[in-house]
Amino acid sequence: FEHEWQIRVMVLNDMEKLDRTLFRLEQGFELQFRLGPTLQGKHVHVHTNYPTEGERFERYKFRVLGWINPTGREDDSDKFCTLDLKISGSYQYYFGHGSEKSGGGYIVVNPVLRVGEDNHVLPLDCISIQTYLSKCLGPLDEWLDRLRVTKEAGYNMIHFTPLQTLGESRSCYSLADQLELNPDFSPPGQTYTWTEVGSLVEKMKNEWNMLCITDVVYNHTAANSKWIKKHPECGYNLVNSPHLKPAWVLDRALWHVTSAIADGKYKDRGLPALIQNHEHLHAIRGVLWQDVFPKIKLWEFFQVKVEPMVEQFRTLLQSAKSDRSKTEGKQQLKIIQDPQFRRFGNTVDMNSALETFVPHGPGAIEDCCNWLRRRLEELNGEQYHEIKHHQEQATNCIADTVSYERLADHGPKLGPVTRKHPLVTRYFTFPFEEATLEQDLELMNQPEKSCHFLAHNGWVMGDDPLRNFAEPGSNVYIRRELICWGDSVKLRYGNGPEDCPYLWAHMQKYTEITAKHCVGVRLDNCHSTPLHVAEFMLDAARTLRPDLYVVAELFTGSEELDNVFVTRLGISSLIREAMSAGDSHEEGRLVYRYGGEPVGAFLQPSLRPLVPSIAHAMFLDVTHDNECPIQIRSVYDSLPSSAIVSMACCATGSTRGYDELVPHQISVVSEERFYSKWNPQAKPSSPAEVTLQSGIIAGKLALNRLHQELASKGFNQVFVDQVDEDIVAVTRHCPSTHRSVVAVCRTAFKNPKHHRYTDEVPPMCIPGKIEEVVLEVRTVERQADSYKKDERSINGMPGYTVEIKEHIQLKDSKVVRQAGVTSRGRNEYVQEIVFEQLTPGSVIAFRVSLDPKSQELVGVLRHHLIQFNPLYKAGSLPDPNTPDILKSPLTQIMSKMTLADMNILMFRCDAEEKEDGGGCYNIPSWKPLKYGGLQGLLSVMADIRPQNDLGHPFCDNLRQGDWMIDYVSNRLISRGGTLSEVGQWFQAMFAYLKHIPRYLIPCYFDAILVGAYTTALDVTFKQMSSFVQNGSSFVKLLALGSVQMCAVGHFPALPPLSPALSDVPYRFNEITKQKEQCCVSMAAGLPHFSAGIFRCWGRDTFIALRGLMLVTGRHMEARNIILTFAGTMRHGLIPNLLGEGVGARFNCRDAVWWWLQCIQDYCTMVPNGTDILQCPVTRMYPTDDSKPLTAGTVDQLLCEVIHEAMERHMQGIEFRERNAGPQIDNNMRDEGFNIVAKVNPDTGFVYGGNQFNCGTWMDKMGESERARNKGIPATPRDGSAVEIVGLCKSTLRWLVALHKLGLFPYNSVTIHKDGKQLSMSYEEWDRKIQQNFEKMFYVSNDPNEKHPELVHKRGIYKDSYGASSPWCDYQLRPNFPIAMVVAPELFTVEHAWEALNISEEKLLGPLGMKTLDPDDMVYCGVYDNSLENDNYNLARGFNYHQGPEWLWPIGYFLRAKIYFAKKLGKDTYDETVYLVKNVLSLHYVHMERSSWKGLPELTNENGQYCPFSCETQAWSLAAVLEVLHDL
């Protein structure tokens, strides 16, 4: 089946059971199963019963699908297993991990129907079907003459009611023999068989292009079927279903009441045979309560015989020598129903009786027996009352039935009660001679007779369709709730073929006969066919005919229940009916609901999520078992309602008789006349023949042709417009050619002869150019005899025909008075139609195209879009005057862009755009976009596209004007360079876009942007490391964070590099007319830390640099950032806030160590990375007190600057910040401006800080006067912070190794102390930390712990050592895993593993790590920076690092887990990989859904969104990317 390769993705989520959700797919589609976040990392197995190629389908045979992981193993974001769907049917899948089933559902693959000699495909939406009651076709040799009417009216499928022998009621659906062709089809002296039917069907397929389907009836067989007499076990009888005995007794009693009424025996009690009023109904109630119920004593079937039970109990008590005290267990005694349902056959459980009534003391046995007697009488009383309720319901149902059948105006008015028309339909067959009721009831106990009392079938109002109403537990028969078909016996299949072998085999043969001759089946009475039976039979049918077309009409009352049938049985189309609409508005809504996309819908990618759908519709103007529309509406409505149906984008159809205007329902039970034959020469009044002029046949032919053309040519977009209360306009639009057909239908639900319709028809605006009137047609009266119901033929009303014109020009139309051309805007070409004769019952359809200019421009635009998607070839036109910029593909233009250019093209938040004098695009009625670049637009379109949400303010803005379009191109053109070329490319594409109708702009704007965006992504990843290029979707998404964060601003954020350094990027400054360096700088986070002085932070930059720049392969830019910051070193520290160097603040103790770690990572990860050590660094502050110097004044090698940092720490750093006071920090207390960073000579630990400043990343300074925390840091972390000790150890280890390799000239640091010069080698310093770390930092289970009163958790590592508040050392925080990653040699494996497990249990959140142990008294996980109250611990966000879950530490936690798990063996490592994948899957989902395409700085507790957090943070992205790199 030719359509381009389509892939649908089903995301599996733990515990998601979708067995009531419908997923429909076409043959040739590929279905991929992928893991949702709840399953990533787990060993999931997916099972399906879809067979492997060449195997037969077996419903209960499942196989496991293999996983494909295209990018290797770092995460599960791209792992999938796949099915190539080539066979139609219903298939089940389920999945689990371990032995648990944890979810599943069904998929339905549509059949492909083929027709004609050449076997061409008939798409399901092209179907036009007509139903025939087979018994009205006459002998087989006359069929073609009668069926020809269907061919001439343009249908392409026929539905026959069953072709088998009918039962004695002659109902089309009551079959006497499922295997035999109806003998009525054979004329005298002939015997036709299925072979002749087969050839006829084949002839129609080949010569008429007509397919046939027929019904299968599995629920019942005719009461007079011969085989059921031989095999009564196939029905519900009193032997195999004794629970029906009470209902059978009632049914016999009611039959005897019928006989008595018919014989006039109740006349004197006010109940004659002819029931005419409510007094008579009342008399029936009297007879039931006074004569019937007391006589048949139904309650006895449910009661216990008291005395024998008591006697049995007494005997048991006497034999048991027990003397226990009486327990109060009265409730436990329950009646046990006799499975044979004999009168008084029930018992009670003697064991529970013995437990309940325990004798103690003399005479106790008699007491117990009395208690039991009383209890049994109570229980019998309860049963009596329950049966009384059943009898009340039965009485009401009987009265309602009699009232409908004999009194109601809309009922059949059956006349007097006779044995032929009994008071109520019999519920059971009774194949014996009439006798008295008493004699009848005796038969119940004779199995050879009672096996022939078979329950009839029927339906139950409001019943649960998944429950079988004839099985035990249902009271439908005794309560008389069944609306009974007295001609049909309900079949009893049991649970499988072994329960009733004859029936299953018989029905399988029946199914196979049907499937052999017809392309499809209609499941009659589907909602009450047991599902497992229908499944089995359809499997048998599909074995013979794999592309079986299955239709059904469901009356379950809910779409969810419908889906149970559709999914399990693989139903191809559900029958829907236009007659269910009460007005034209509702009829139009049905068209919109049952198929098609909205006009102007977006082009969906060929790989996309599998979304639930509604069942494919077979939309009929009327079904064969519903009332005639002419009686309910009017004869004039037949045509317009039919036209509305024909315009639906689904299968459509009708029933024979509708088109000839037969003014009554053709009854499936009583109709015995034949359909009329086709004869083009027949006269209007000839009842046995029809012509094109009969009824609305000519109109139907034109409508059927149109319906089939629209479906086959891809007019799959639908718009329904309710013009006024009677007029519905349906538009079908083709998205590749942009042609439309608009049908305007004026319904006539009321007869215009008696109902006043207005002459004022509102004018209509039709966008585009009307090429022709496809058809105009109306129902008119003609000279003919008035209608008289014919004796032998089913005839229609001869007095009506249609007036029709096809394919005419607008000027020749009688319906339209004038059509003015108005132009709305420069490219809105609209025709206003004023109607002259759109009378009730008329239809006009226009073929509309875009105006010639728009049509040409759309074609050219599609031509230029082919480079992104071959689907645009359809409807494309070559461009005679291609602008130069469009002559080369976009990839070629973009390949000249740098990643810094990509940052501008794709990202930039509002603050960054404002620096350049712009801003992000703001949609006035909605909100501003997140980014100025393409990602800002694509994030919104990604939400709109799958839903086709064309009403979204974003789409409105595009339709209303060119503002957004111009914003995209102008923003880039103004930048110059390659970006300007990309801007010109957009401008040239948009030049076409601006001149097409506005309703098409959103979908083409989307196409252009999606094409450009995916091209930009390809170019971006090509410039990154092979890890990214070959990485998973998740790796690429994180790597995009590097483009998001790393940018060249309008003003240089970094101080200049040494002029002696090679490969430094320069640009020309338009204002100063000088060339200036333009190095990429890294934002800390968006939107709060993206521009100006707050963009660059030393700590943030170097925590994120490894992940965002080294792992992604941006080595040169990483080098420049390292050297820039080296140039700003002062006091041996790297700035916290960079402030372009001139405004730097040196108030953090950790940035310098992160910087050193990055140099180490650079040397190890970059080819020839150690060359950086010899790069020149231009010092801004060569001494602590220098004024800032210009670049090149003082240059040093990087290795010297590194050595200086180490030496300064060993010497001891102690200074007061410049300009100390409120001008640089509004909240800091005076002592906080004093900076200290030193090394303890005994332990080698770096220490520093005081209780008034915070020198590490946990740097919240109190701001609330009211809560008295202003000027007090929440987390000073003074002393030796664990991660700084780890980073220092890592640096020493590295420097020692470098020196040995001759790559670092220094091996020791020299200091001056008390006038003496002392030195310490790097090796010794390294050794000291190694020897002391575990001793000083590990909180062991040692009883000699120095501060046992401060220990809160044992088996962890301290957060710091030597803090001024000693208890802070012992707090559990997520910092020690950082030391584990950079200096794992400090830790013993077992201790490290235990500490990590405690962290996991206490600190691990969904996206981040809790910054403080939740057991700590000051823990609070919700950060609110605006909160102003008296709470010291919370006011003004004081708890920033006292609980909220920060993302970047999770990276170090997971990397530490991976490192130590490897040391503990394969099992531990595999478990850890599972944990890592599982944790990271949540980050992947967050990024996929985030309109910022990033990871936040932090979340509130348990992963809740925090409005004060940056939406995307550099170190969050980097840390997660590093975990994937480690994997």
pLDDT in tens, 259-270: 999 999 999 988
CA–CA separation, 1368 and 808 (whole Å): 90
What phi, psi does 1438 have (nearest 5°)?
A: -60, -20
Q: Which amino acid does the sequence have at 1382? A: V
Q: Model pTM?
A: 0.87
CB 564 within 8 A of CB 92: no
CA–CA separation, 1386 and 1293 (whole Å): 11
From the list 1185, 1067, 1095, the residue with the least C-alpha distance to 915 is: 1095
Coil vs helix vs strand at 520: strand
- Three-class SS string for 297-363? CHHHHHCECHHHHHHHHHHHHHHCCCCCCCCCCHHHCCEECCCCCCCCEEEECHHHHHHHCCCCCCC
Summarised one tens digit per residue, pLDDT across range 645-663 is: 999 999 999 999 999 999 9
- Three-class SS string for 907-926? CCCHHHHHHCCCCCCECCCC
Q: Which amino acid does the sequence have at 1340? A: S
CA–CA separation, 29 and 745 (whole Å): 37
> Residue 1's pLDDT is what?
34
Summarised one tens digit per residue, pLDDT across range 1357-1387 is: 999 999 999 999 999 999 999 999 999 999 9
Coil vs helix vs strand at 837: coil
Q: Burial-class residue 560 by CB neighbours within 10 Å (0-12, 13-18, 19+).
A: exposed
Q: Which amino acid does the sequence have at 803? A: E
> Residue 1060's pLDDT is what?
94
Cβ neighbours of residue 448 closer than 8 Å, sequence gap 6 or more: none
CB 707 within 8 A of CB 128: yes
Summarised one tens digit per residue, pLDDT across range 272-319 is: 999 899 999 999 999 999 999 999 999 999 999 999 988 888 888 888
- Three-class SS string for 134-174? HHHHCCHHHHHHHHHHHHHCCCCEEEECCCEEECCCCCCCC
Summarised one tens digit per residue, pLDDT across range 719-745 is: 999 988 899 999 999 999 999 999 999
Coil vs helix vs strand at 19: coil
CB 648 within 8 A of CB 617: yes
> Residue 366's pLDDT is what?
85
Q: How do strand 157-160 and strand 651-655 relate by DSSP bridges? A: unpaired
1449-1476 in b/e burial notation, b at 16+ Cβ within 10 A?
Answer: bbbbbbbbbbbbbeeeeeeebeebbbbb
CB 1512 within 8 A of CB 1496: yes
CB atoms within 10 A of CB 1078: 17
The H or E element that residue 1248 is part of is strand 1246-1248
* Long-range own/partner contacts, residues 1157-1160 (CB < 8 A, 24 or more apart): 1157/1102, 1157/1106, 1157/1287, 1157/1290, 1157/1291, 1157/1382, 1158/1102, 1158/1105, 1158/1106, 1158/1110, 1158/1118, 1158/1122, 1159/1122, 1159/1198, 1159/1202, 1160/1290, 1160/1291, 1160/1294
Asked if pLDDT for residue 460 goes beyond 70, the answer is yes
CB 28 within 8 A of CB 1: yes
Summarised one tens digit per residue, pLDDT across range 1456-1468 is: 999 999 999 999 9
Coil vs helix vs strand at 189: coil
Asked if pLDDT for residue 682 goes beyond 70, the answer is yes
Which residue in the list 524, 621, 1006, 1413 is annotated as catalytic?
524
Asked if pLDDT for residue 1065 goes beyond 70, the answer is yes
Average pLDDT of every residue of the chain: 93
CB 245 within 8 A of CB 287: no
Which residue in the list 456, 527, 624, 707 is annotated as catalytic?
527
What phi, psi does 470 have (nearest 5°)?
A: -100, -5
What distances in angstroms separate CA 733 from CA 591, 832, 848, one per listed residue?
14, 19, 9
Longest dimension (CA), the chain: 137
CA–CA separation, 220 and 197 (whole Å): 24
Cβ neighbours of residue 209 closer than 8 Å, sequence gap 6 or more: 115, 116, 156
Summarised one tens digit per residue, pLDDT across range 796-807 is: 999 999 999 999
Catalytic residue flag (residue 524): yes
> Residue 73's pLDDT is what?
67
From the list 938, 920, 741, the residue with the least C-alpha distance to 843 is: 741
Q: Confidence class of residue 679 from pLDDT cuts 50, 70 and 90?
A: very high
Cβ neighbours of residue 1336 closer than 8 Å, sequence gap 6 or more: 1243, 1245, 1358, 1361
Summarised one tens digit per residue, pLDDT across range 1149-1180 is: 999 999 999 999 999 999 999 999 999 999 99
Catalytic residue flag (residue 409): no
Cβ neighbours of residue 847 closer than 8 Å, sequence gap 6 or more: 739, 740, 741, 770, 771, 772, 773, 774
Left, alpha or beta for 425 (phi > 0: left; psi -120 to 50: alpha)? beta
349-363, 664-678, 1086-1100: least confidently modelled range: 349-363
What phi, psi does 467 have (nearest 5°)?
A: -115, 140
> Which residue is listed with tokens 């051309």?
821
Bridge partners of residue 1130, in order along the sequence: 1133
Bridge partners of residue 1235, in order along the sequence: 1215
Q: Which amino acid does the sequence have at 1397? A: N
Tokens of 570: 């693989």
Q: Confidence class of residue 825 from pLDDT cuts 50, 70 and 90?
A: low
CA–CA separation, 553 and 1253 (whole Å): 76
Bridge partners of residue 573, in order along the sequence: 551
Catalytic residue flag (residue 952): no
Coil vs helix vs strand at 115: strand
> Residue 1031's pLDDT is what?
92
* Displacement of CA 616 from its chain's centroid (Å): 18
Q: What angle do CA 1468, 1469, 1474 make, to 5 degrees?
A: 100
Handedness of CA 1070, 1074, 1080, 1086 (dihedral sign): negative
Q: Confidence class of residue 323 from pLDDT cuts 50, 70 and 90?
A: very low
> Residue 583's pLDDT is what?
87
Q: Burial-class residue 87 by CB neighbours within 10 Å (0-12, 13-18, 19+).
A: middle
Q: Across residues 890-897, what is the average pLDDT?
A: 96
> Residue 322's pLDDT is what?
47
Compute the radius of gyration of the chain from its Cα atoms. 43
Q: How do strand 573-577 and strand 617-620 relate by DSSP bridges? A: parallel
From the list 1398, 1393, 1383, 1403, the residue with the least C-alpha distance to 1469 is: 1393
Summarised one tens digit per residue, pLDDT across range 505-546 is: 999 999 999 999 999 999 998 888 999 999 999 999 999 999
Which residue in the list 215, 251, 463, 625 is annotated as catalytic?
625
From the list 220, 154, 222, 153, the residue with the least C-alpha distance to 182 is: 222
> Residue 827's pLDDT is what?
62
345-349, 887-891, 1245-1249: least confidently modelled range: 345-349
